[in-house]
Amino acid sequence: MSDTTLKGRRIQGGVRPSKTIEMTRICADSGCVTKLSKYNRREFCFAHAPVKFPRVRGRIPIDGAI
């Protein structure tokens, strides 16, 4: 055995923690208790998201037309 033997070294410094929100959050909408994923950084759940995409595909419903 000699002193020139290469030895592996453990990674120093530890593992960098991921940027996730650890605390459990719920939807910001009053009365909604939907839990938000810690990976979801929004304030509202999917149902109460402020941005709404209307599902009108070229047809605008007119009262009395149906």
DSSP string across the chain: --TT-----PPTT-PPPP----S-EE-SSTT--PEEPTT--SSS-STT-S------SS----TTT-
Among 8-16, 17-25, 44-52, 58-66, which window interacts with Zn ion (CB under 5 A)?
Answer: 44-52
Site string for Zn ion, 1-40 (x = CB under 5 A): --------------------------x-x--x-x------
Least separation in angstroms between residue 52's CB and Zn ion is: 13
- Give the residues lining the site for Zn ion (CB under 5 A): 27, 29, 32, 34, 45, 48
